[in-house]
Chains A and B, each alone.
Chain A
Amino acid sequence: MIETRLGEFEEVILLLVGILGEEAYAFRIAEEFESQTSRSVSIGAVHSTLTRLEEKGFVNSAMGQSTAERGGRRKRIYSITAYGRRALEAAMDFRLSLWRQYPAFSGKVNYGLS
């Protein structure tokens, strides 16, 4: 059976795949992760997560262009599937509902989302 829950790291990676669009391949995602979170991560860790996301059906992948600095090797571009988008939305809704139930914040914080 394939696990269909979305972990925290997986959620971030999935979002980054969405943000990067055509440029969403393991190295770029890892770089983007590091610059956005200022936490370090290895390409291997990102790659392994991407593979898992693909197994769960949240992303698709296809081989893309090659460049000179890659030594003429092609990259694997990932893109979010409709199912992946739904999973992201569900995750956000869940977070928001939790935030709203937290008395210290309820009514005071406006996310500009809802």
Chain B
Amino acid sequence: MRKNPPRRAQRLLLWFLREDLAEEVLGDMAEKFALMVAKKSAFRAKLNYWYQVLNYIRPFAFRKSRKYFNHYAMLENYFKIGWRNMSKQKTYSSIKVGGFALGIAACLTIALFIRNELSYDTNYPNGDRIYRVVEQYTEKGKMMRGVHLPAPAGPAIKQDYPEIDLVARINPVELFGAGSNDVRADGTIENTNEDGFVWSDPEFLQMLDATFIYGNARSALTEPNSMVITKSKADKYFPEQDPIGKLMIVANDQSQPYKIGGVIADFPVTSHFNYSFFMTLSGKEFGRGEQTNWRNSNYPTYVVLHPGADPVALEKKLSMLGEKYYLPMMIESGFPNAKEEIKNLSYKLQPIDEIYLNELDVRDGLNHGDIRFLWLAGAVAVFILLIACINFINLSTAKSANRAKEVGLRKVVGSFRKNLIGQFLSESVLFTFFSFLLGLAIAALSFPMFNTLVGRTMVFPWHEWWLFPMIITGSIVVGFIAGIYPSFYLSAFRPIDVLKGKIARGSKNPLTRNVLVVFQFTTSIVLVISTFVIYRQMQHILTTRVGFEKDQVVMIQGANMLGDKIKTFKEELLRQPNVQHVTISDYLPIRGTKRNGNSFVNEGKRGVDDGLGGQFWLVDNDYLKTLGIRVAQGRDFSPDMPTDNEAAIINQTMARELGLTDPVGKRIENWKKWTIIGVVEDFNFESIKEKVRPLCMVLGNSPSIVSVKANSTDMSGTLESISKVWRQFAPHQPIRYTFMNESYARMYEDVERMGRIFTTFAVLAIIVACLGLFGLSSFIVEQRSKEISIRLVLGASMNSIVQMLTRNFVKLVLISFVIAAPIAWYLMQKWLQDFVQKVDITWDLFLVAGLLALVIALVTVSYQAIRAAVMSPVNSLKSE
């Protein structure tokens, strides 16, 4: 390696360094360099030279005269004039900058949101090779996709396909004790209810390359009954100690404690795994033969492919699983047309980073983002920014009169058009830059609110390196877009016309400006109408008759810890004055409560008919009464009928799908035979976006949730007495309860959230558009102030003046409305397609939205108009 200082670094240094410093600085640097070469290496010396050069970038060392910066003086002048213009017209400037800043803030926050949504599961080291196995089943031409595979499927895949490096299964099914559980450290008394329990293969944490704080991925879960917890949980239960080897009691089960095998860092928020307790599947079997049984599907399964393996080719090969493993099982169970049926089964490998947005519409019970919503949000952001840009363009061209003389003069003294364009562009960049800074401030300040709005916990990216470069590039790009039309427009003035005074009053109503205003209002009105529709749909969902009564019902959770005492607990509750009914069942028409899918057939038709997939719920005698579910045919369960132990109540959908016209007294079977004693009216127990699915209820024991129906509206009093009873029975366990109507509303949070987001941005769009209108109208009033004064002097009424000034704007808003209405109708029609129960888009929505836009526009404009009309004519006539 040559032992000379790096030439590039030297050139850089000389480029910015003051000439009188060059000698001493270069000398010092040469000495340092020689020393570094002698002591370390030539490479380190060069590196250090660069470091030293970069450290000379300090104000004291800079050249004072910038003779290398050709147009410095010119640019300085441009910015100076720009600055003066800005400070001379405070109102216009603040409208321009403020509107722009609002638009930029909206755009920025939405962009951050979109970025957050796209960043899910993107940070695993082997992420590009991790896939989730998705099972596809084509039924009546419709493809259903699920992720729950049978327990032996994972090991079978690992064994049969050498191109797979690692297979890991998890079991998140509540029936097996995953989900939420009461938990405590061994040796303490009080339980805490925690979410995020999951059964997992030891390989699972290895696959995700989880960061271990205590223990390691290789051995943490290998021992049976071991468990890995996250850092936050470790801090909670074992503060300031190494929890490895410590025991935890899960679900109050003293006989089977779990030994902590490791502690991992919490998963980032942007991960679809929100688990905190990983209980090992090693040596675990849920019932005899469960691990080798192909009939029950409970295990989402993840694979890591060998580097270079082709997932598409593997997907094809995976279809062999059906014939090899499912078919023998199906033939054994006597499935009709098993051979044909199995052809409908295929597999897909879903990359781990696509799981969150779920474009394949896989049924996996996880929370998902919505790609269509992201597109929509992105479009709204762009439109708001466009509206803001239009303000800028309109105000710049409208105020052109004030700049016309300047343009004329500059041209006369020899400015080329290209210079003028440069000037106006740099001015526009200057404006945009200020707007960006202000927009950044607005975005940062409103970020906590935005987080609540979208229900995320994002952090404002101050610490990210790209933020400030982005602002600079952003202001240049947006500044160009917004400034290009005004600068061509302004620079085109002919000096002779200008100096003669022809353009002195500016153009009155150029077509472009009107078109742009129409565009602004069209966008705003579309947003307003959409907001109305979304709101109405939301109200519809929350108030529509769902088939059960969710008001005044308290759900007491974790009641299973009462054990045998639960019956007495129920009786005691019923003795309270405000309590009307009490039922014990974990199966409720609320998301997050227990579900159990079974296959049903009419009696004796097993193996003849296709099984009907339906829910199989365990309830008690008071279930229907407590939830106010109506019996359509037959009767409710009764404690006086001992035969009811073999009785079932089904819903209308199941009766219809099983082809039972007179179901009462008929018998159906899943794994046992049941006599139908009643049919209930359909009620929604999944999302109201979907159709009601078949349901069968029998008497049984599922003691985690006790639901209490109160007969008074005094809920706090009722709660008081419920809590008192609870304390008698479980003094060590704090009561946990939720209101059913609140839990129900939470199921539709996403719709509600969408409504709120739309409202916010619709309001924002209208505000920005109105800012522009305000600026335009004040300009027009100013322009016609003499005319108005003369009209007033000659006896015009105030009314006629206001009318004259507002007429044009009203016309524009009306045109916008005519354009916006069909667009909004079309978009909302599309959006509503998702819902089974939808509101009608009625004409009054359009009327209200149109009127609203009109009124807002009129108020904005007439403020200026009225001010002009009540002004004393003398003021504007006395000058000149």
Q: In the complex, which residues 26-76 of chain A have their Cβ closer than 8 Å to any Cβ of chain B?
A: 26-27, 30-31, 42-45, 47-48, 51-52, 63, 66-67, 69-71, 73-76
Residue pairs across A and B with CB atoms within 8 Å: the count is 70
**10 closest Cβ contacts across the A-B interface?**
A73-B27, A42-B55, A44-B55, A27-B28, A70-B27, A44-B56, A76-B24, A48-B58, A51-B60, A69-B34
Considering only CB atoms and an 8 Å cut-off, how many residues of chain A contact the other chain?
Answer: 23
Q: A27-B32, A48-B60, A52-B60 are in contact. Are A66 and B55 (CB under 8 A)?
A: no
| Cross-chain pairs A/B with CB under 8 angstroms, 18 sampled | A25-B24, A26-B24, A26-B28, A27-B27, A31-B35, A42-B51, A42-B56, A43-B29, A43-B56, A44-B52, A48-B60, A69-B30, A69-B31, A70-B26, A70-B31, A73-B24, A73-B26, A74-B23
Is B25 on the interface with A (CB-CB < 8 A)?
Answer: yes
Is B542 on the interface with A (CB-CB < 8 A)?
Answer: no
Contacts of A70 in B (CB 8 A): 26-28, 30-31
Is B725 on the interface with A (CB-CB < 8 A)?
Answer: no
Contact of A75 among B24, B56, B57 (CB under 8 A): B24
Cα distance A43–B52 in the bound complex, in angstroms: 6
Cα distance A108–B798 in the bound complex, in angstroms: 90
Given contacts A27-B27, A73-B30, 15 further A-B contacts (CB under 8 A): A25-B24, A26-B28, A44-B52, A44-B56, A47-B61, A48-B60, A69-B30, A69-B34, A70-B27, A70-B28, A70-B31, A71-B26, A73-B27, A75-B27, A75-B28
Contacts of B25 in A (CB 8 A): 26, 43, 47
**Taking CB as reference atom, which chain A residue is nearest B53?**
A44
Q: A69-B34, A73-B23 are in contact. Are A43 and B28 (CB under 8 A)?
A: yes
Question: How many Å from the CB of B10 to the closest CB on chain A?
Answer: 11
Contact of A45 among B28, B35, B55 (CB under 8 A): B55
Kindly state the interface size class of chain B when it binds its partner. 20 to 34
Cα distance A42–B55 in the bound complex, in angstroms: 6
Asked if A71 and B24 sit within 8 Å, CB to CB, the answer is no
Question: How many Å from the CB of A56 to the closest CB on chain B?
Answer: 13
Contacts of B58 in A (CB 8 A): 44-45, 48
Question: How many Å from the CB of A45 to the closest CB on chain B?
Answer: 6
Contact of B61 among A27, A48, A67 (CB under 8 A): A48
Question: How many Å from the CB of B670 to the closest CB on chain A?
Answer: 75
Contacts of B24 in A (CB 8 A): 25-26, 63, 73-76
Cα distance A73–B30 in the bound complex, in angstroms: 9
Contacts of B26 in A (CB 8 A): 70-71, 73
Q: In the complex, which residues 9-34 of chain B have their Cβ closer than 8 Å to any Cβ of chain A?
A: 21, 23-32, 34
Q: Which residues of A contact B (CB under 8 A)?
A: 25-27, 30-31, 42-45, 47-48, 51-52, 63, 66-67, 69-71, 73-76
Contacts of A43 in B (CB 8 A): 25, 28-29, 32, 52, 55-56
Contacts of A30 in B (CB 8 A): 32
**Taking CB as reference atom, which chain B residue is nearest A50?**
B60
Cα distance A83–B339 in the bound complex, in angstroms: 101
Cα distance A51–B34 in the bound complex, in angstroms: 25
Contacts of B31 in A (CB 8 A): 27, 67, 69-70
Asked if A44 and B23 sit within 8 Å, CB to CB, the answer is no
Cα distance A30–B60 in the bound complex, in angstroms: 18
Contacts of B34 in A (CB 8 A): 69
Question: How many Å from the CB of A102 to the closest CB on chain B?
Answer: 33
Cα distance A25–B21 in the bound complex, in angstroms: 13
Cα distance A2–B475 in the bound complex, in angstroms: 36
Cα distance A63–B32 in the bound complex, in angstroms: 19
Cα distance A30–B51 in the bound complex, in angstroms: 14
Cα distance A78–B795 in the bound complex, in angstroms: 84
Cα distance A69–B33 in the bound complex, in angstroms: 9
Contacts of B28 in A (CB 8 A): 25-27, 43, 47, 70, 75
Contacts of B35 in A (CB 8 A): 31
Cα distance A71–B4 in the bound complex, in angstroms: 11
Question: How many Å from the CB of B424 to the closest CB on chain A?
Answer: 39
